[in-house]
Structure 1
């Protein structure tokens, strides 16, 4: 049945990170008349662009200008400090804001798009994982980026060596942030509490451990190359793990060959004994146990070998050999994981919502985009294609489905309802006031911004 209604279609987007904004833009560019309301539990939008991308990567953060362009459209509204869930959950989290439920959104919107990302960590599942000094990368990254949930983390950076578990860009980010020169740090939007801690840090060496070989490491070439531009840093790789000619393999992608050329170059060059800081890559290593009396003192690593199974896949297999590394700080960067949403199906193995090309299985009018749809993979731009796929199906459904009944003043009534339910609500104008304040504080110091991290301060600024 074709929908001949003349009223706009109202779509709620839950989550204001890259996938949410790409979905919003696609909806607003459609031939159908669509209004988009975007919700976030935080006062600030942009998700991982603000709170996940490393502070020394301002070019990546510049994608936020695209999101600002979407947010300035008349058909778009942003509502921050709005928590989807229940009152008990909000109270236990200590967050500011108000609570709305999925059912309440379904009563008011023709469709809901969930763009909530992967909000927690994958666990190692080893003894000692929860010792003080063993920190999930999602918490550590949130701490130095000024995420209100993690501002009070206060990691102890008094150990000379930090061990990072993982062989992807997040592992590289946290290892690099620990070793950046003070001048480089002071040019970034690193949260002030973390900036002070990094400057006073005793960490001089980061050891990055990957469970498979250098060939399977998931770092991007751009991030690896920039290590050579960091002052007083030497990169250390075992020559046996990256021998000459390792990149001469036509079966590898261009990116993989470039990475192997870099690793082989570092291996042949050897460490610079005069460098102030040292970053070592050690492959075929898996964490077995974290030990310490009251806090982390050492980590036991299992030494692996690679085996190819009957399915042709290469796996890391424990040889039974062990090595023990002294450290006071272990950063676990083995991946992010999605969290179940109230009332929706959830695949516990993948940490995603089951769907068919973005349509939530068994649920009309509900859709997913981004990491909660496909898992924590890809780069920021990957979310655009992903969101466009979901929105294409959503728009097709809107064109065929009879709209829900809504009063003529529905647009204004939704905002009135929200402001009653969420007294600390931050709208687009409020976010722009916060944004202007942060940028203004940063400008005299040559920094992109000085971030606010206190929830009460967000509310105060948004009311000006």
Structure 2
């Protein structure tokens, strides 16, 4: 009964280190780890101990006998990563090489680090730092709620992926951890302020904007970005009032990565199925009145170049009607004849089995379209469709649509007082050390660009933390000039409405209570409502607050 890794794999590598026989790959020390679409269990070497199940933060691993029907393709997918062999491998005690947490060697006071951002890269960095005693970490986030794209970017029907927040909540309970939520660095406090109160500042702010499609008509009513749309249905307060009109039968999504699949899946899912998730109430109301019958996901290149991952394609086709037109089926056949990469071949084999777009459908469906290069949006006052050229030709094709969303990638934005590379949309750095800015570090997408998955940030953050601690041990990080406890007074003076760990837990509890027995939570989508919930958190006794100030 070998265990199997399934669609919700976050690739953080926790399962790798839990496995007593080193049968989960690629591991963080292997070249393919950073770009792997998921991790894979060797069915021949697996000893069925279940250690990986307990270690997985998102519940992605199950025995092969307990898989749901839609998960069965992952049995073959896991096995295909390994060479064909006969019989079981002999038992082994070989373990995956564990990269030890950096050891703090100085004994002249605690290492104090400010982390800007509260998404996966930030929380993994905090976890890595707090593995040792005598470290203080303060996490700053401009929203009253933490966890970045896990909260506002993971689709509501992927609740298992969101389980990683349970791990993050445990990190917030660590001695030495502090939250400064609803505090914007660059507004309430400056980079210089943070360096005054810490040895180092680590930015893990992600890539918060979209890459923009520069064609005529973008910006008119009925056009937008997938990122905005995802934030809207996830209840992000900045997009809660986004005007979304679903009164037309077709939506076009330009770009075919996983985010595009998320958008198409939510638009074609029965709202009653979404009602049991944490989707924003305003989004569920609009989706219940939707007239959308088809979402067309458009790509410039061929099927072999599809940007979505194989696990996401498997998951999508197991639950939704996905089709291709005849010309695209022919492209798939051509690409399949030439494919050699196992993951690319796996995608093409699934695409080859999709239905024909010419066949009638009795439910909303998703159509994948290839070799179409965006030319312009159609319409005057609002979108009526989109014109494309067939890639590499002058042939023009049009798609009538009432909503056009672009999904062509994320991009980092400049950070005040730090260098910025406009070409890559990242902060220039050397293994996380910011170029020309002593005491300043980066992790996550602002460090490496928008690549990888939630768990990829774990090894990325660990690399940065190793460099930070090495600099601390070498004595190249000047100590804070402000005394411990002054930071809290400074921030509260400039932002009285800050939310700390207790405030976040009050918001979290209130959202869970609002969800009742039918939903995991009902999110607040207005900042003032979040702050009202945070204000209900009981204050710690005076002696405890004074002691905390002395210890931090």
> Shared fold by TM > 0.5?
yes
Q: Secondary structure at the match of 1:12?
A: strand
Which of these residues, 249, 256, 270, is aligned with residue 167 of structure 1? 256
Check conservation: 2:251, 2:404, Cα contact below 8 A. yes
Q: How many residues align?
A: 431
Q: How does 1:267-282 map to 2 (within 5 A)?
A: 273-282=360-369
Task: Name the structure 2 match of 1:130.
Answer: 219
Which of these residues, 119, 124, 129, is aligned with residue 17 of structure 1? 119
Check conservation: 2:322, 2:368, Cα contact below 8 A. no
Q: How does 1:135-150 map to 2 (within 5 A)?
A: 135-150=224-239
Check conservation: 1:21, 1:70, Cα contact below 8 A. yes
Check conservation: 2:385, 2:401, Cα contact below 8 A. yes
| Structure 2: stretches of 5+ with no match in the other structure | 1-103, 537-552
1:70 corresponds to 2:142: no
Which of these residues, 366, 391, 400, is aligned with residue 326 of structure 1? 400
Deviation at 1:110, TM superposition (A): 0.3
1:378 corresponds to 2:466: no
Question: Partners in 1 of 2:290 and 2:361 — Cα distance?
Answer: 19
User: What are the Cα deviations for residues 279-322 of structure 1, in whole angstroms up to 9, with x where unaligned?
Assistant: 11011112110121211011011211xxxxxxxxxxxxx31211
Deviation at 1:273, TM superposition (A): 1.9
Question: Partners in 2 of 1:114 and 1:370 — Cα distance?
Answer: 9
Which of these residues, 533, 541, 544, is aligned with residue 461 of structure 1? 533
Which of these residues, 155, 160, 165, is aligned with residue 59 of structure 1? 160
Deviation at 1:371, TM superposition (A): 0.6
User: What are the Cα deviations for residues 7-54 of structure 1, in whole angstroms up to 9, with x where unaligned?
Assistant: 111100000000000111111114x73110000000001100000011
Question: Partners in 1 of 2:212 and 2:163 — Cα distance?
Answer: 32
Q: Which moved more, 1:233-242 or 1:329-338?
A: 233-242
Task: Name the structure 1 match of 2:462.
Answer: 388
The Cα RMSD (Å) is 1.8
TM-score by length of 2: 0.75
1:421 corresponds to 2:421: no
Check conservation: 1:3, 1:403, Cα contact below 8 A. no
Task: Name the structure 2 match of 1:102.
Answer: 191
1:259 corresponds to 2:332: no
Q: Secondary structure at the match of 1:6?
A: coil
Question: Partners in 1 of 2:358 and 2:270 — Cα distance?
Answer: 18
1:435 corresponds to 2:508: yes
Distance change (3 Å), C-alpha of 1:209 and 1:374: same
1:287 corresponds to 2:374: yes
Check conservation: 1:246, 1:261, Cα contact below 8 A. no
Deviation at 1:235, TM superposition (A): 2.8
Between structures 1 and 2, the one with greater strand share = 1
Task: Name the structure 2 match of 1:37.
Answer: 138
Check conservation: 1:248, 1:257, Cα contact below 8 A. no
Q: Secondary structure at the match of 2:353?
A: helix
Question: Partners in 2 of 1:405 and 1:381 — Cα distance?
Answer: 32
Task: Name the structure 1 match of 2:19.
Answer: none
Check conservation: 1:352, 1:374, Cα contact below 8 A. yes
Check conservation: 1:246, 1:264, Cα contact below 8 A. no
1:28 corresponds to 2:102: no
Check conservation: 2:196, 2:480, Cα contact below 8 A. no
Which of these residues, 359, 384, 392, is aligned with residue 433 of structure 2? 359
Task: Name the structure 1 match of 2:540.
Answer: none
Distance change (3 Å), C-alpha of 1:270 and 1:122: closer
Distance change (3 Å), C-alpha of 1:399 and 1:345: same
1:46 corresponds to 2:147: yes
1:201 corresponds to 2:290: yes
Check conservation: 1:26, 1:388, Cα contact below 8 A. yes
Question: Partners in 1 of 2:301 and 2:443 — Cα distance?
Answer: 30
Task: Name the structure 2 match of 1:213.
Answer: 302
1:341 corresponds to 2:341: no
TM-score by length of 1: 0.89
Q: Which moved more, 1:432-441 or 1:410-419?
A: 410-419
Distance change (3 Å), C-alpha of 1:406 and 1:13: closer
Check conservation: 1:234, 1:271, Cα contact below 8 A. no
Which of these residues, 386, 400, 405, is aligned with residue 474 of structure 2? 400
Deviation at 1:246, TM superposition (A): 4.4
Distance change (3 Å), C-alpha of 1:373 and 1:7: same
1:235 corresponds to 2:337: no
Question: Partners in 2 of 1:226 and 1:185 — Cα distance?
Answer: 16
Q: How does 1:76-91 map to 2 (within 5 A)?
A: 76-86=177-187
Question: Partners in 2 of 1:379 and 1:282 — Cα distance?
Answer: 25
Task: Name the structure 2 match of 1:315.
Answer: none
Q: Secondary structure at the match of 2:516?
A: helix
Question: Partners in 2 of 1:63 and 1:25 — Cα distance?
Answer: 13
Question: Partners in 1 of 2:332 and 2:105 — Cα distance?
Answer: 61
